[in-house]
Chain A
């Protein structure tokens, strides 16, 4: 009846997961109860859960990412603690089978359920606003994408309460991940969760490529799009072409595990190198899926806070698209040591170094944007500078790793761990924190506290360097990654410093929460009344904060790059706004519970597949199909916002803008 699911699945004999499970369950229950007592459920249901508004969906993605960041960080600090304790005679506090689950969960969660939703959240929130339009191409599908992603996150976290997670590392390499060596549910949790969230990601990619290529404000030609939109386009093109390969690799591993196929097994002619190739054909472009939008965020931040147009806009666009293409030609550098031969290694080594060139172009562009500008040292600029210092070193260690003979020495070492954390934390996480600070007022109508924001930055910056610089040293000394116990006592000081670094990052994460709560409490002092708190240059600052559901009462007419900046300067010079346009009623997509119901059935189906409960899996599939048919049968997918309401809101905005204009002209 319940397949493999028995009472043994609950970790009664392991105190750490058991207590964590209980605490999380109580916390989730308490929050749910509190929200119910406050009477906020209807609001959440109508305004967020079923919303087709790209801004609301973006916020939900980022909330999911921040929650999962806490989970992923908990794994990280447990690993750092274990490695700084389990030296010499001591075995630390984590047994090997538990430690292996933790490093697997850490990688999986941080990439798939922190970095991805964070980046996609920003694309959701920002891209339609920057393009000067009202929503993405497929608003309902957007909601479905989010909930499928959340369903994957749910299943990964469920493995904490029921059963176990994979002990195979974040990419579950066979033959270790085959049934013969990993018979438990851990790898199945991994596979099913990633398949479900992967479907969501492909749908996101379809949505955003269509949006950026087909839905832009009048006059917004390709070479007038803000760089963030370009990087979002590149990122989504990569997603569209890379994620299906991940789906195939994981599906083949599932067929091996569930039906006894022989894709990657040791017997029957299986070839585990096939998995390596497929997973890294996805895996390396994935790095650029994350880092390109991060580059986009830095570009926006650099231009805005330097008070100058971005230096070398076109070279930035070309660099982005070159990275987008070359990102497919480097995957083999993840396994130089696995016998492809000197010629092939050389080709991929050179390709890997080539990709550093457009990245270098970008670094210079940001530097020259700041050069000669009136740089305002706000939190996002701190992250930009911190990023440039950190990322350049990470890039250089990457070039070292791209040299096959060097790679043979440091392959799979702590040097590698330090390298990719340096580019992902220094590159992606810093950008996400910068973007979080930068666009927060647009989403909620008030800015975040600046002092606490700087404290968070310093925690990340110092903590990161303390945590990962020692790993370079240990890597050179031959320290391999994923060790549950360290036998050489002379490594102890380095590992202790690394632990200290992780603690400082932890303080930074706590301060992020404090900053959010404090900023909400004192929001009246930092209201963004004008909709343009940073003296911005792109169209998202044209509308109010938070923007109305339809973003713009009339789609802005774009003349030249930096659409909003030009318009603002004209208004200041002429001391008047553009003539009042002829307002029209606006057609907007209605809310739909389709996404959350589909994700519910997907979760049920996924859970059933993990535990071999076949009848429930079939029921889940039928349910998901039924809700699609139900949705397809609806006639009304849009509602009309009457022209009076549009005009009223627009006039209010014009009044605010006129006041703002007077303030500016008085001060100059």
Chain B
């Protein structure tokens, strides 16, 4: 057994040098975001099942409208910019929160929320237009899958906004306590993860869906 193997934890019995785990339990500032990352990963699995369903059903239009007839790239571009910008602003909020600057943190968080609401508003407008044109989720399996995938992301954004509002109130009332900073970090992980999902939706649903047939 080389010492190198020992330091990366490959020893088993005998050696004192264990490498991994020798320090004992990690601190909360490691454990809480780690657990939250795991939750986000399981959420990604959830979305992957929705993506798979969409891919399976995208051509099952039952004689109804197809992707090319429904999607408007321009609208989705605005939506995307709003959401990505919202993530950027959320990052700024994290920086100011770490510096303990209450006013700017709240300001950036408000901006995050407004951009998120703009995204959600455009999505709801798109949904309402589609339903108005008779292309609601009950029309075909393709539309069921579309509304569920995109709607599930929208639902996440809506929950995120609720969370954001609660967080802002909490920071305002209680200041930058350690456990509140940890929660804010979890929120920003969540908010960025929604971007990653959206990039997937933007590509697989909207870009591929509007390729010339």
Per the bound structure, the CA–CA distance linking A217 and B21 in Å amounts to: 8
Bits for B153-195, please: 1 = Cβ < 8 Å to A, else 0.
0000000001000100010001001010001000000000000
Question: Contacts A218-B23, A261-B148, A271-B60 known; A240 to B18 CB distance under 8 Å?
Answer: no
Number of B interface residues at 8 Å Cβ cutoff, please give it.
55
By a CB distance below 8 angstroms, the chain A residues around B123 are none
- Give which listed residue, B22, B50, B143, contacts A219 with CB less than 8 A: B22
Closest to A255 in B: B148
Question: Contacts A240-B38, A268-B140, A274-B53 known; A262 to B22 CB distance under 8 Å?
Answer: no
By a CB distance below 8 angstroms, the chain A residues around B140 are 262, 268-269
Q: Does B35 contact A (CB under 8 A)?
A: yes
Per the bound structure, the CA–CA distance linking A247 and B35 in Å amounts to: 20
By a CB distance below 8 angstroms, the chain B residues around A313 are 12
In the complex, the answer to whether A314 meets B21 with C-beta atoms within 8 Å is no
In the complex, the answer to whether A206 meets B35 with C-beta atoms within 8 Å is yes
**Which of chain B's residues 133-162 have a Cβ closer than 8 Å to chain A?**
137-145, 147-148, 162
Question: Contacts A263-B57, A269-B141, A274-B53 known; A244 to B45 CB distance under 8 Å?
Answer: yes
Q: Does A430 contact B (CB under 8 A)?
A: no
In the complex, the answer to whether B34 meets A263 with C-beta atoms within 8 Å is no
CB distance from A275 to the nearest CB of B (A): 10
**Which of chain A's residues 298-342 have a Cβ closer than 8 Å to chain B?**
313-314
- Give which listed residue, A214, A260, A270, contacts B30 with CB less than 8 A: A214
In the complex, the answer to whether B145 meets A222 with C-beta atoms within 8 Å is no
Per the bound structure, the CA–CA distance linking A240 and B35 in Å amounts to: 11
CB distance from A383 to the nearest CB of B (A): 28
Per the bound structure, the CA–CA distance linking A560 and B12 in Å amounts to: 6
**Which of chain B's residues 1-38 have a Cβ closer than 8 Å to chain A?**
9-16, 18-26, 30-31, 34-35, 38
In the complex, the answer to whether A632 meets B170 with C-beta atoms within 8 Å is yes
Q: Does B39 contact A (CB under 8 A)?
A: yes
Closest to B166 in A: A629
**Which of chain A's residues 211-267 have a Cβ closer than 8 Å to chain B?**
213-224, 240-245, 247-249, 251-252, 255-256, 259-263, 265, 267
In the complex, the answer to whether A255 meets B24 with C-beta atoms within 8 Å is no
Per the bound structure, the CA–CA distance linking A220 and B49 in Å amounts to: 36
In the complex, the answer to whether A216 meets B62 with C-beta atoms within 8 Å is no
By a CB distance below 8 angstroms, the chain B residues around A344 are none
CB distance from B93 to the nearest CB of A (A): 18
In the complex, the answer to whether B57 meets A241 with C-beta atoms within 8 Å is no
CB distance from A280 to the nearest CB of B (A): 12
Q: Does A355 contact B (CB under 8 A)?
A: no
Q: Does B43 contact A (CB under 8 A)?
A: yes
CB distance from B100 to the nearest CB of A (A): 18
In the complex, the answer to whether A221 meets B19 with C-beta atoms within 8 Å is yes
- Give which listed residue, A243, A256, A263, A559, contacts B42 with CB less than 8 A: A243
- Give which listed residue, B11, B57, B138, contacts A223 with CB less than 8 A: B11
- A-B contact number at CB 8 A: 160
By a CB distance below 8 angstroms, the chain B residues around A137 are 31, 35
What range describes how many residues of A lie at the interface?
Answer: 35 or more
By a CB distance below 8 angstroms, the chain B residues around A219 are 18, 21-22, 24
Say whether chain B's binding surface is mostly helix, strand, loop, or mixed.
helix
Q: Does B129 contact A (CB under 8 A)?
A: no
By a CB distance below 8 angstroms, the chain B residues around A633 are 170
By a CB distance below 8 angstroms, the chain B residues around A256 are 144
By a CB distance below 8 angstroms, the chain A residues around B166 are 629, 632
CB distance from A590 to the nearest CB of B (A): 14
**Which of chain A's residues 606-663 have a Cβ closer than 8 Å to chain B?**
625, 629, 632-633, 635, 637
CB distance from A178 to the nearest CB of B (A): 13
By a CB distance below 8 angstroms, the chain B residues around A560 are 12-15
In the complex, the answer to whether B42 meets A248 with C-beta atoms within 8 Å is no
CB distance from B8 to the nearest CB of A (A): 10
Q: Does A30 contact B (CB under 8 A)?
A: no
Per the bound structure, the CA–CA distance linking A207 and B42 in Å amounts to: 12
In the complex, the answer to whether B53 meets A252 with C-beta atoms within 8 Å is yes
By a CB distance below 8 angstroms, the chain A residues around B24 are 216-219, 555
Closest to B49 in A: A248
In the complex, the answer to whether A223 meets B45 with C-beta atoms within 8 Å is no
Closest to B8 in A: A221
**Which of chain A's residues 340-391 have a Cβ closer than 8 Å to chain B?**
none
Q: Does B96 contact A (CB under 8 A)?
A: no
Per the bound structure, the CA–CA distance linking A194 and B50 in Å amounts to: 19
Q: Does B101 contact A (CB under 8 A)?
A: no
Q: Does B56 contact A (CB under 8 A)?
A: yes
Q: Does B61 contact A (CB under 8 A)?
A: yes
CB distance from B124 to the nearest CB of A (A): 17
Q: Does A202 contact B (CB under 8 A)?
A: yes
In the complex, the answer to whether B62 meets A268 with C-beta atoms within 8 Å is yes
In the complex, the answer to whether A260 meets B138 with C-beta atoms within 8 Å is yes
In the complex, the answer to whether A202 meets B42 with C-beta atoms within 8 Å is yes
Question: Contacts A221-B22, A248-B49, A560-B14 known; A262 to B138 CB distance under 8 Å?
Answer: yes
By a CB distance below 8 angstroms, the chain A residues around B78 are none
Closest to A207 in B: B35
Q: Does B196 contact A (CB under 8 A)?
A: no
Question: Contacts A214-B34, A221-B21, A269-B62 known; A632 to B183 CB distance under 8 Å?
Answer: yes
Closest to A267 in B: B62
Q: Does B95 contact A (CB under 8 A)?
A: no
By a CB distance below 8 angstroms, the chain A residues around B148 are 251-252, 255, 261, 263
By a CB distance below 8 angstroms, the chain B residues around A561 are 12-13
- Give which listed residue, B9, B137, B179, B183, contacts A221 with CB less than 8 A: B9
Per the bound structure, the CA–CA distance linking A632 and B166 in Å amounts to: 9
In the complex, the answer to whether B144 meets A263 with C-beta atoms within 8 Å is yes
Question: Contacts A206-B38, A561-B13, A629-B166 known; A241 to B45 CB distance under 8 Å?
Answer: yes
By a CB distance below 8 angstroms, the chain A residues around B143 are 262
- Give which listed residue, A210, A217, A222, A248, contacts B38 with CB less than 8 A: A210
Per the bound structure, the CA–CA distance linking A241 and B183 in Å amounts to: 24
CB distance from B53 to the nearest CB of A (A): 6
Q: Does A138 contact B (CB under 8 A)?
A: yes
- Give which listed residue, A215, A247, A314, contacts B46 with CB less than 8 A: A247
In the complex, the answer to whether A216 meets B25 with C-beta atoms within 8 Å is yes
Q: Does B41 contact A (CB under 8 A)?
A: yes
Question: Contacts A243-B42, A244-B45, A249-B49 known; A261 to B142 CB distance under 8 Å?
Answer: no
CB distance from B16 to the nearest CB of A (A): 7
Closest to B30 in A: A214
Given contacts A560-B12, A637-B179, 10 further A-B contacts (CB under 8 A): A138-B35, A216-B21, A221-B20, A221-B22, A224-B12, A241-B41, A252-B144, A262-B62, A262-B140, A268-B62
Chain B positions within 8 Å of A, measured between CB atoms, are: 9-16, 18-26, 30-31, 34-35, 38-39, 41-43, 45-46, 49-50, 52-53, 56-57, 60-62, 137-145, 147-148, 162, 166, 170, 174, 177, 179, 183
Q: List 5 A-B pairs, minimum CB-CB distance, nearest first.
A: A269-B60, A269-B141, A244-B46, A218-B24, A261-B144
What are 12 A-B pairs with beta-carbon distances under 8 A? Answer: A206-B35, A210-B38, A213-B34, A217-B25, A220-B21, A224-B21, A240-B42, A244-B46, A248-B50, A255-B144, A263-B141, A281-B49
